[in-house]
Amino acid sequence: MKKRKIVLSIMITVCTMFCLCGCSQKEPSVVRTYEKTDSKEAFENTEPVIMVKHYEMSDGTWKTDDYTYQYRLEITGRMNNAEKDSTFIFLSNIENITFDQAWKAAGFSSNMDDYFDVEVAKFVAASSSFHASVNRSCVRSMRKSRGNCRRSIRSRLFRLRKKAPGS
């Protein structure tokens, strides 16, 4: 009888410990951090140019400093009259974003209805092929205008980031 009480109390203690450990929810931890690309490296970089610092979390979600998203979408396609494909990277709570939606929401549309609410999706990066095609088109126009191409593209990208909602 005494053995039975000891075994029973040990089993209750072990079950209680498992229940308490199983019920406590851990906060997801950061698996990988995507640091913002330095503006000086943006044109020499072969990796995507990260415009917004974001994180891959241990629970499979993605996070900026302000919002959490279910998906990280890399959307590739070719813009009108472009020489190369461009890739736009969005953190999103919707599973599908078309390339047409992506390039407009990345700062190329003057219609504010083309942009996503920051809770729905956030433009965080673009591929270097996008920057290379922008750079080539600027070189062509520079022959006519004799302007400083790299500076004008850099300032255009910064203006686009400031103009986009939720930036």
Q: Is the CA virtual torsion 132, 107, 162, 95 positive or negative?
A: negative
Residue 72: is its pLDDT beyond 70? yes
Residue 3: is its pLDDT beyond 90? no
Q: What is the pLDDT of residues 84-129, one digit of tens each?
A: 889 999 999 999 999 999 999 999 999 999 999 999 999 999 985 5
Q: What is the pLDDT of residue 5?
A: 64
Percent above pLDDT 70 for the chain: 57
Q: What is the pLDDT of residue 140?
A: 41
143 or 29, which is more confident? Answer: 29
Q: What is the pLDDT of residue 42?
A: 66
